[in-house]
Chain A
Amino acid sequence: MSTTAKAPATVRMRTWSGDNVLKIYAFIAFVYLLLPVAYTFVFSFNDAGRTNLVWRGFTLDNWRNPCGAPQVCESVVNSVVLAAGVTVVATILGAMIAFALVRHQFRGRSTTNLTIFLPMATPEVVLGSSLLALFLNVFVPLGFWTVFIAHVMFCISFVVVTVKARVASLDARLEQAAMDLYASEREAFRRITLPLVMPGIAAAALLAFSLSFDDFIITNFNSGQFTTFPKFVYVASTRGIPAQANVIASAMFFIALALVLISQIRSMRRKEV
């Protein structure tokens, strides 16, 4: 049914608008998503006074001296160290639970599921305040360890969900094939199961890290004098956030973006081979 005449104008316009309305809409949505990011980045170059609210002039000073403002770098380091520790513990605990859930039968499955997934549905205010009440009742001093405990608590559920999906999609026959080929259970796990589940575990670890780093509400309740980056920014927002905070945030944004893009491009290229 080939024709050399073009389709009538009304049809062409309808197809054009049908195709492109959606794309235009999506473009606007992306602008909306990235607007605050762009704003933060731009204002990191602001020759700000104490408040960084009004544009005063372009400067690279903030980038040259990101730790210039008090507490900025300290809070970032705190957040990174905290998130790293939380990631390790939550990933291990959560991965173990995920394996148990997928690979084994046991009683009390529904209760277990409830305990694991309820934290995800509980408002952070409630999670944070209830844990604080516990710490107060037991006279535990607030600080790094209390935040650590709180973060691990709410990260475990997310780790379980992420790893569980990956373990469930693993073909059990691969382990059988390994054992058929003289690998003991331990070797089969180490050489076959673990490498294949690793992407899921890595994703879970990444998720735990981001959740911990970015958390504010639960941290606010349970950290005492220990300052994380989000807490620092929140407190500073009343009197004026130093531009250095924008620098750090922008730097983190670009690093994270770069890492994700690199891994995406690498996996795209690997698929083409």
Chain B
Amino acid sequence: MSIAAAIADTLEEQPHHNKPQKAGKLTPYWLMLPGLLWLAIFFVVPLVTLFGTSLMTPVPGGEVGEFEQTFHFANYWNTLTDSTYYVPLFRSFLYAGAATLLALAIGYPLAYAIAFKGGKYRNLLLVLVIAPFFVSFILRTVAWRQILADEGPVVAILRWAGLVSETGGVYPSAFAVIMGLTYNFLPFMTLPIYASLERVDHRLIEAAGDLYAKPITGFRKVTFPLSLPGVVAGTLLTFIPAAGDYVNAALLGRPSNTMIGNRIEYTFLSVNDYPTAAVLSFILMASILVLVLFYVRRLGTEDLV
């Protein structure tokens, strides 16, 4: 039976007699069942077990990777107070924050230019914005590594401009990591802002001008506030994944630039210290959640999805 028929069947009302019928009450549940089941088993359950893992402690006298459940909540405190972990955590938020601000600084004018000056080429320009995604993420980042290398053109210009010493470089460094983060998430910032700006009714701006506002005031008081939902969406879509990323730090940074993502990966895969990795994961998620809630409430916007 084709999928279309299956879906339509579940939407179909039951055979009637000569009495009024209500639409199938169970239909939505059947429709959602497979997808929700998948998410329940492969997303919810892992998270729950991860939480359980975060409360484990090593089996005394056991091998590496052997743990037992002891509900050891102290794991959280111990990890939070360990500089091996809280330093990368703060660093992650620092880098992600910097990358978000940079992405905003680059992305907002870009979105504005496309929305207001793009004319009939708008869609083509938008394609160019997401075009970098057609090249693999890793390759893009590796390309930056080459572009920022000491022998590369960027450093040459910087040396010539005197911004960098004769022997200094840009890679690997915090700067390179932030650059990579900004670059990789720029489309996530640009597109929502564009979507918001595109919806702004131009007549509102004209009305502002008619009411004695200078263009810059018109922007400040009319356009920018109306684009705020896009800005909020863009900053969240940039900050959240950036905070958890580790590839940029791995490819473009030194050990002194490790982010929390690196720590988690290392702790999990190399050290096999599953409880600590789990603790770090939840601390990361919790901090992101707190920051996001604080941020969204301050700006007070409606549904993001």
New A-B pairs, 5, CB < 8 Å, besides A54-B151, A133-B278 = A33-B183, A39-B143, A103-B28, A125-B264, A241-B139
A: number of interface residues (CB 8 Å): 90
The interface residues of chain A lying within 8 Å CB-to-CB of B269 are 221
Q: Is B171 an interface residue (CB 8 A)?
A: no
B32-A112 in contact (CB<8A): yes
Contact with B along A26-37 (1 / 0, CB 8 A): 100110111111
Q: A123, B8: Cβ atoms under 8 Å? A: no
Interface pairs (10), CB distance under 8 Å: A19-B117, A26-B109, A34-B132, A37-B132, A123-B245, A125-B261, A132-B268, A186-B9, A217-B261, A220-B265
Structural contact, B34 and A93, CB atoms closer than 8 A: yes
Asked if B84 is an interface residue, CB under 8 A from chain A, the answer is no
By beta carbon, the residue of chain A nearest B282 is A126
Q: A133-B274, A134-B45, A186-B9 in contact; A256/B134 too (CB < 8 A)? A: yes
B73-81, B120-128, B161-169, B203-211 - the one binding chain A: B120-128
A37 CB, min distance to chain B CBs, angstroms: 5
Q: Is B212 an interface residue (CB 8 A)?
A: no
From known contacts A133-B50, A268-B123, infer whether A233 and B288 are also in contact, taking CB-CB under 8 Å.
Answer: no
* A189 near B274: Cβ-Cβ < 8 Å: no
Interface residues of B (CB under 8 A from A): 3-5, 7-9, 11-13, 27-29, 31-32, 34-36, 38-40, 42-47, 49-50, 53, 106-107, 109-110, 112-114, 116-117, 120, 123-125, 127-129, 131-147, 149, 151, 183, 186, 215, 240-241, 243-247, 251, 261, 264-265, 268-269, 274, 277-278, 281-282, 284-285, 288-289, 292, 305
Q: Contacts A186-B9, A256-B134 given; indicate if A104 touches B27 (C-beta within 8 A).
A: yes
Chain A 89-126 per-residue mask, 1 if CB under 8 angstroms from chain B, else 0: 00011101101110111100000110111110111111
In the A-B complex, list the 9 residue pairs whose CB atoms are closest, starting with the nearest: A123-B244, A104-B28, A36-B143, A26-B113, A93-B35, A130-B46, A186-B8, A100-B31, A256-B134
Q: Measured between C-beta atoms, what is the minimum distance from B30 to chain A in Å? A: 8
B261 touches A123 (CB 8 A): yes
B264 → A minimal CB distance (Å): 5
Interchain CB contact under 8 A, A123 and B139: no
* Contact, CB under 8 Å: A126 / B244: yes
Label chain B's interface by main secondary structure.
helix
Query: Residues of A contacting B244 with CB < 8 Å?
Result: 123-126
In Å, the complex CA distance between A33 and B191 comes to: 14
Q: Which chain A positions have C-beta within 8 A of B34?
A: 93, 96
Taking a contact as CB atoms closer than 8 A, the residue among B4, B28, B251, B288 that contacts A123 in the complex is B288
CB distance from B126 to the nearest CB of A (A): 9
The answer on a CB contact under 8 Å between B110 and A115 is: no
Q: How far is the CA of A253 from the CA of B269 in the complex (A)?
A: 32
A23 at the interface (CB under 8 A from B): yes
Q: Are A94 and B35 in contact (CB under 8 A)?
A: yes
State A124–B240 Cα separation when bound (angstroms): 10
Q: Tell me, yes or no, whether A17 is within 8 Å of chain B by CB.
A: no
Question: Contact between B44 and A115 (Cβ–Cβ < 8 Å)?
Answer: yes
Asked whether, in the complex, the Cβ of A96 is within 8 Å of the Cβ of B31, the reply is yes
Return the contact of A261 from the options B40, B49, B127 (Cβ within 8 A).
B127
Q: By the criterion CB–CB under 8 Å, are A186 and B147 in contact?
A: no
State which of B28, B128, B246 has its C-beta within 8 Å of the C-beta of A217. Answer: B246
